[in-house]
């Protein structure tokens, strides 16, 4: 019985393992001699070495223990066979699954390879890129204002002295920040851009050949008080809420974003309409002007983090360079600008363009367009604008009308007529910038004063009428209150002076003073003109209608200085005034090289009477 069981076990092992494999294991575990033995105990021990895979077993079982020993071998053999069959079944299932998923795995691998090789592009993004490139190739043409913009300093008309002053300030070895004040359309932006190009040519200039010119509009600058967004000075993006570049996203490293002040490093930062900037924002810019650097900070920055690149560490620890020259331009009043900004900058005042300047602008633009002009065209255009840009715009519109009217295939063969310009005037509803008020006649009770509106001077028509009071000593002074509170003071000062020089009682007259149009007068500059109008109407002495007067009148008959002399002279010239009387203390304010108008300094009321009244008048 035990012998048959041992033979059966051996046959089963041969069947399961195979004869060759069984022979190898028998030799490996030292069981070959035991299996060939005629002793059942030795044969049983040999089988145990093979089944247990243990060559160190040397204890033979006793005869009486042999049945139990064989049963144990049978159990282990059954367990081994069961495990092998389970492994075979599992392998079979794995092979079946691999076969089933083979195509799917291949497709996924192919997609992964394509994704890595092609990047983020796909059919949709490539289509949109093609559409964008197609749209970029579509161009209507250059705008006419762009084509006619001055490309040389010599083409900037009417500002020769100001342009020279601008170049001298920025081209010095010690350049200054500059603020440019002036009306719109007189060449402030163009002068700044061309001044830098001129400064680059000078040997002592601090600007290199590649010095940048960065232009920005102060009215459109927006910023976040939390410093999350600041296109002018720069900002630090929050890596959590605002996101970061791919290489910094996982580690949460904040990256400073440089602003326009850093782009302008070594060059010029031009801020148009700087007066419209937020005052707090402007103060931060002043700090950068002083430090010549922009400092960054972030609660996410860790200087000990090894993942932070060196350039980010340098920006946080040393800041970004911002060594530039600031040129600010504004059409506003100087008093509206931050005093801290004005104290750090040189100031240049661009003057309004004269009619002769506008004519030159129109003629130069016509040369660039290659068109002919009727002789009246420049004269007509200068009536409707004092801005160079607007003059070019009117000429461009007239060119379009002329081209449409003539149906000419060659734009260079067009002739712009006065009717083309008037068509533009009618369609745009333009009005003359100033009406001609001056004349060679003389009138009683009418004089011309001078005032300022922005950067433009204006002529004030002042009328006066006097009637004998119904009861002596009960006369009154009447004037339009809309003219401003200082007009009231000027009227009473004039009454005191008239009483001194004429020895007439003002209270014996009802006197009416009117500022035509109700023009508001912010200062006392119309005082002298009001005095002359009242004096003329009381004494019945005519005044010259070709003379305008500016200056404050004191109760002692002295003419006191006022501001805005340049603008007032310009306004008088535009209105056809031939002579302007100014306070003697304003003599130094008169522009150099003044043509077409006479300026006479005065000190007292006697000087006014001498130059503004008919000769041989006697008070």
On whether both 475 and 606 belong to a single domain, the answer is yes
* Domain tally, the chain: 4
On whether both 334 and 416 belong to a single domain, the answer is no
User: 496-543 pLDDT, tens per residue?
Assistant: 888 888 878 888 888 888 888 765 666 678 888 988 999 999 888 899
Residue 577 forms part of a structural domain: yes
Tokens 């070709």 locate to: 546
CATH code where residue 603 lies: 3.30.230.10
Supply 499's token pair.
């009483």
Could you tell me where the DSSP H helices lie in 244-354? 246-249, 260-263, 279-291, 310-318, 339-343
Last residue of a domain, one of 282, 316, 349: 349
On whether both 417 and 384 belong to a single domain, the answer is yes
Q: Which helix (DSSP H) or strand (DSSP E) does residue 88 occupy?
A: helix 66-118
Rg of the chain, C-alpha, whole Å: 49
In terms of residue numbers, what domain contains 514?
442-612
On whether both 451 and 591 belong to a single domain, the answer is yes
Q: Tell me which residue of 142, 9, 156 sits closest to 71, measured CA to CA.
A: 9
On whether both 533 and 424 belong to a single domain, the answer is no
User: Is residue 523 classed as helix, strand or coil in its secondary structure?
Assistant: coil
Instruction: Point out which residues pair with 495 in neighbouring strands.
Output: none
Residue 206 forms part of a structural domain: yes
Quickly count: other Cβ atoms within 10 Å of residue 14's Cβ.
Answer: 14
Residue 88 forms part of a structural domain: yes
User: Is residue 486 classed as helix, strand or coil in its secondary structure?
Assistant: helix
pLDDT value for 308 = 79
Supply 449's token pair.
């004063």
Residue 437 forms part of a structural domain: no
pLDDT value for 567 = 85
Report how far residue 542's alpha carbon sits from residue 84's, in angstroms, rounded to the nearest whole number. 135
Report how far residue 496's alpha carbon sits from residue 256's, in angstroms, rounded to the nearest whole number. 69
pLDDT value for 179 = 95
On whether both 316 and 343 belong to a single domain, the answer is yes
User: Is residue 268 classed as helix, strand or coil in its secondary structure?
Assistant: strand
* Dihedrals phi, psi of 279, to nearest 5 degrees: -60, -40
Residue numbers in the chain where pLDDT is lower than 50 = none
pLDDT value for 323 = 92
Q: Which helix (DSSP H) or strand (DSSP E) does residue 607 occupy?
A: helix 605-612
Structural contact between residues 300 and 238, judged by C-beta atoms closer than 8 angstroms = yes
Residue 424 forms part of a structural domain: yes
pLDDT value for 582 = 92
Report how far residue 580's alpha carbon sits from residue 567's, in angstroms, rounded to the nearest whole number. 12
Report how far residue 274's alpha carbon sits from residue 246's, in angstroms, rounded to the nearest whole number. 37
- How far separated are the first and last CA of the chain, in Å rounded? 167
Could you tell me where the DSSP H helices lie in 407-482? 418-428
Residue 20 forms part of a structural domain: yes
Last residue of a domain, one of 349, 371, 404: 349
pLDDT value for 67 = 72
Whole-structure pTM value: 0.71
Within 13 Å of residue 127, how many CA atoms lie on the same side as its CB? 3
User: 389-403 pLDDT, tens per residue?
Assistant: 899 999 989 988 888
């Amino acid at each position: 019985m035990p012998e048959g069981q041992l033979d059966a076990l051996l046959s089963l092992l041969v069947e399961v393992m195979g004869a060759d494999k069984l022979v190898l294991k028998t030799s490996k575990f030292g069981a070959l001699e035991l299996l060939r033995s005629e002793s059942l105990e030795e044969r049983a021990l040999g089988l145990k070495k093979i089944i247990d895979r243990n060559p160190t077993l040397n204890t033979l079982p006793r005869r009486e223990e042999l049945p139990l020993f064989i049963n144990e071998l049978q159990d282990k053999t059954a367990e081994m066979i069961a495990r092998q069959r389970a492994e075979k079944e599992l392998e079979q299932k794995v092979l079946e699954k691999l076969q089933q998923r083979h195509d799917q795995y291949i497709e996924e691998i192919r997609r992964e390879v394509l994704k890595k090789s092609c990047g983020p592009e796909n059919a949709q993004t490539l289509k949109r890129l093609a559409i964008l490139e197609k749209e970029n190739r579509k161009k209507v043409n250059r705008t006419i204002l762009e084509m006619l913009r001055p490309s040389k300093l010599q083409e900037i008309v009417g500002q020769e002295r100001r342009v020279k002053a601008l170049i001298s300030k920025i081209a010095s070895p010690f350049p200054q920040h500059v603020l440019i004040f002036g009306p719109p359309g007189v060449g402030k932006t163009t002068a700044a851009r061309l001044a830098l190009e001129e400064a680059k040519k000078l040997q002592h200039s601090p600007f290199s050949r590649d010095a940048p010119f960065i232009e920005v509009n102060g009215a459109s600058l927006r910023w976040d008080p939390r410093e999350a967004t600041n296109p002018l000075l720069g900002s630090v993006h929050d890596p959590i809420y605002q996101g970061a570049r791919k290489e910094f996203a996982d580690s949460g490293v904040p990256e400073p974003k440089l602003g326009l002040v850093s782009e302008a490093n070594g060059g010029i930062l031009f801020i148009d309409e700087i007066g419209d900037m937020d005052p707090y924002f402007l103060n931060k810019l002043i700090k950068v002007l002083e430090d010549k650097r922009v400092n960054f900070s972030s609660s996410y920055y860790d200087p000990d983090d090894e993942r932070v690149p060196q350039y980010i560490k340098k920006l946080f620890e040393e800041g970004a360079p911002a060594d530039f020259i600031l040129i600010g331009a504004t059409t506003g009043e100087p008093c509206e600008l931050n005093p801290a900004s004005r104290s750090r900058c040189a100031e240049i005042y661009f003057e309004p363009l004269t009619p002769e300047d506008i004519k030159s602008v129109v003629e130069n633009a016509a040369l660039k367009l290659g068109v002919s002009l009727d002789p009246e065209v420049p004269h007509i255009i200068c009536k409707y604008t004092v801005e160079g840009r607007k003059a070019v715009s009117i000429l461009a519109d007239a060119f379009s009308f002329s081209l449409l009217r003539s149906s000419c295939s060659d734009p260079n063969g067009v002739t712009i007529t006065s009717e083309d310009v008037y068509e533009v005037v009618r369609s745009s509803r333009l009005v003359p910038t100033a009406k001609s008020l001056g004349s060679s006649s003389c009138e009683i009770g009418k004089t011309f004063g001078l005032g300022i509106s922005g950067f433009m001077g204006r002529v004030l028509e002042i009328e006066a009428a006097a009637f004998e009071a119904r009861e002596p000593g009960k006369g009154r002074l009447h004037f339009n209150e809309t003219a401003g509170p200082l007009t009231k003071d000027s009227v009473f000062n004039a009454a005191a002076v008239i009483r001194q020089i004429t020895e007439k009682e003002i209270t014996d007259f009802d006197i009416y003073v009117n500022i035509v149009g109700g023009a508001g007068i912010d200062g006392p500059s119309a005082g002298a003109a009001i005095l002359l109008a009242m004096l003329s109407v009381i004494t019945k002495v005519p005044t010259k209608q070709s003379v305008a007067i500016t200056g404050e009148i004191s109760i002692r008959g002295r003419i006191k200085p006022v501001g805005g002399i340049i603008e007032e002279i310009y306004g008088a010239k535009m209105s056809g005034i031939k002579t302007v009387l100014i306070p003697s203390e304003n003599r130094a304010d008169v522009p150099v090289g003044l043509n077409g108008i006479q300026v006479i300094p005065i000190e007292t009321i006697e000087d006014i009477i001498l130059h503004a009244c008919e000769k041989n008048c006697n008070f």
